[in-house]
Amino acid sequence: MSSPSISRRAALQVGAAASLACFPTWRMWASDPHRKFKIGACDWSLGRMQDASALELARSLGIDGVQVTFGAVGVKYDLRRPEAQRAYREAGEKWNVAIASLGLLELNNKPFASDPEAEQWVVDCIDVMQQIGQRVVLVPFFAAADLRDKPDAQAEVIRRLKKVAPRAEKAGVILGFESWLNADDHLRILDAVGSPAVQVYYDVANMTERGYDIFKEIRQLGRDRICEVHAKENGFLLGKGKVDFVKVREALDDISWTGWLIIEGATEEGRTLEDCYRLNQAYLRSVFPT
């Protein structure tokens, strides 16, 4: 690795540490190095998208944190608004539940490669994350934003990421790139952008659905290229579907990766959402030391 890349990585780490140091202790335990893995859930999977009450629900389900939607402008829990930031902070302090990360789901409808508003959404999110001490945001490329077999769109995404990456680095923020692409394509894009502020957000169920060898891919991507992991199943509880989470744990251990495992989906017919998520978090804790 060249010396400029090392400098950028050092700057990112220092920026993240400085940012977190400015915020209340209810966020600090989320980065406790003694907690090897932490269990979170997406607010959209909990049925509480862009709603601070998701933190209270997470506490009742035994979940450590919530991936919060950075979404519609001007609504009650729009994190661009100081009142919404305060509401999340107060909910976190009351229920001792962290904001694990943010999610820019609207970019599935406003493709980063083409929509004129998408880049501003990312910039706004980076600025808000710096204000509230957050480190990771999911930047998705699904639905209208799908990049498969679209070399021109991929090239434009690289160009735009190179434009916003310095801002993310300065803020101590990681843009978590999630798509249907395989590890080779993800690495090619990350290498072209050339910033530690752009990493892969790895979804084990999506990649399994595409037929990829997820255990090989995790090892191929490596510790420094995976920012968070979606622990997901479609139509099954975790541990009862297609994904072998024991082998996922082995692959993550092989690359010395630790961090947030964010539950997405993973419900089954005949059970309430609450029952499913209590069982899901308990299963993950049986496999991953928390």
Mean pLDDT of 20-24: 38
Residue 198, helix vs strand vs coil: strand
Q: Is the pLDDT confidence value at 12 over 50?
A: no
Mean pLDDT of 225-247: 98
Q: Is the pLDDT confidence value at 103 over 90?
A: yes
Write down the pLDDT at residue 204: 98
Write down the pLDDT at residue 231: 98
Q: Is the pLDDT confidence value at 276 over 60?
A: yes
Contact partners, residue 82, CB within 8 Å, separation at least 6: none
Write down the pLDDT at residue 29: 36
Write down the pLDDT at residue 34: 57
Cα 153 from Cα 111, distance rounded (Å): 9
Mean pLDDT of 57-82: 97
pLDDT in tens, 168-190: 999 999 999 999 999 999 999 99
The domain segmentation of the chain, as residue ranges, is: 3-22+36-287
Q: What is the mean pLDDT of the chain?
A: 91
pLDDT bucket at 251, cuts 50 / 70 / 90: very high
HEC string for 207-239: HHHCCCCHHHHHHHHCHHHEEEEEEEECCCCCC
pLDDT bucket at 48, cuts 50 / 70 / 90: very high
Mean pLDDT of 27-40: 64
**φ and ψ at residue 274, rounded to 5 degrees:** -60, -45
| Domain 3-22+36-287 class in CATH | alpha beta
Percent of the chain at pLDDT > 70 equals 88
Write down the pLDDT at residue 35: 58
Structure tokens that stand for 50 in this block: 């862009």
pLDDT in tens, 109-140: 999 999 999 999 999 999 999 999 999 999 99
For residue 134, give the H/E element and its range.
none
Write down the pLDDT at residue 31: 43
pLDDT in tens, 76-90: 999 999 999 999 999
Structure tokens that stand for 230 in this block: 């979606």
Best CA proximity match to 160, nearest among 132, 141, 181: 141
